[in-house]
Structure 1
Amino acid sequence: MKWFSYIVGLLLLVIDQLVKSAVSNQIALGTVKSFIPGVLSLTNLRNDGAAWSILSGNQIFFYLITVVALVVLIYLLVTQRQHLLYQWGLTLMITGTLGNFIDRIRLKYVVDMFQIDFFNFPIFNIADMCLTFGVIILFIAIIRDERIEG
């Protein structure tokens, strides 16, 4: 079962890169195209910072943080609890981290494309979704274990 999460992570990484490439090639930079009217649009945005372009232009900082994060996440995946929720959470976090790191190395920015239309939220990509769901799953696993042990 452990390998299944790794295969899914690899597939999500490939899908992330393919979607970023398609958006970069098919949608002009800064253009917004309605996907689900009033809910979700597609755009082509270059983000050289974090969410809401925080720390924009600090690529060296992002390289260092990403390498440290990957080392820690991989170490935890290999050495720590192998409960299914931990495994999935860490695998998704590694996938998302790698997806955006590939962009930063290759392009010097991250390609974002999903825009929520009904409230102000940062434009995001599949790697960001992997990171978010990975953190949520890991949080649930930690809370679950605390309740069982406590």
Structure 2
Amino acid sequence: MKKKYVIKKNYWIHIALMVLILSIDIYSKKWILKNLYIYEKKNIFSVLNFFHVHNYGIAFSIFSDQEKWQKNFLLTFNIIIIIFIINTFLKLKKKLFSYSLVIAGAIGNLIDRIQYGFVIDFIDFHINNWHFATFNIADSSIFIGILIIIKNNYYR
């Protein structure tokens, strides 16, 4: 007998959070596409730039040499991971916040891969000439969600 998933009342706040993060991610990327040319930089603060780049790979541009099998692999990998995380999310009764962050971010980057063939990155933190990897709202959401999951599971 298959187990049916029922969206419980307390899940709706987390679904709303996912929609909010996804909306901010999509809007921010559309703003970057409309207002900055590729590789254009806009200074925001002394340690923050908007720097429009396209990431054809995954974290830190791994698998970014754009061969067809890698594009298909990344797309398939994203979809499998999202399904796995949503399945985990639906089985949980608490600590849903962190999974909501990861799901929203993963879907945001998946939308980019499907729509453009790459992920739009633009947040560039730096100290003088040292720059951290350029990222986006979805990446931030995934990162924070994973940190919370690790903290909840390993540092009680």
Q: Which residue of 2 aligns with 1:60?
A: 72
Which of the numbers 21, 24, 27 marks the counterpart of 1:18? 27
Once the two structures are TM-superposed, the CA of residue 137 in structure 1 deviates from its matched residue by 1.1
Q: 2:40 aligns with which of 31, 35, 47?
A: 31
Question: Is 2:52 the partner of 1:51?
Answer: no
CA distance in structure 1 between the partners assigned to 2:52 and 2:100 by the alignment: 27
TM-score where L is the length of structure 1: 0.89
Q: Deviation per CA, 1:61-90, whole angstroms, max 9, x where unpaired?
A: 1111111101110110111x322x3x0111
Please give the alpha-carbon distance, in whole angstroms, between the structure 2 residues aligned to 1:69 and 1:107.
20
Cα displacement (A) at 1:105: 0.1
* From 125, 137, 146, the counterpart of 2:148: 137
Corresponding position: 1:89 with 2:101 = no
Give me the whole-angstrom Cα distance separating, in 2, the residues matched to 1:121 and 1:64.
28
Alignment partners' CA distance in 2, 1:68 and 1:141: 23
Q: Which residue type is aligned with residue 57 of structure 2?
A: G
Cα RMSD (Å) of the superposition?
1.2
Unpaired runs of 5+ in structure 2?
Answer: 1-9
1:124 aligns with 2:135: yes
Displacement of 1:109: 0.5
2:82 paired with 1:70: yes
For residue 112 of structure 1, give the secondary structure of its aligned residue in structure 2: strand
Is 1:40 matched with 2:52? no
Which runs of 5 or more structure 1 residues have no equivalent in the other structure? Answer: none
- The CA deviation at 1:132 is 0.3
Deviation at 1:120, TM superposition (A): 3.1
Once residues 12 and 42 of structure 1 are traced to their aligned partners in structure 2, the CA distance between those partners, rounded to angstroms, is 19
Is 1:100 aligned to 2:117, yes or no?
no
List structure 1 runs of 4+ shifted beyond 4 angstroms: none
Point out the structure with the larger helix share.
1
Quote the offset at 1:143 in angstroms.
2.2
The TM-score normalised by the length of structure 2 is: 0.86
Residue identity opposite 1:115 in structure 2: D
Q: Percent identity?
A: 26
Tell me how far 1:43 sits from its aligned partner: 1.2
CA drift at 1:51 = 2.3
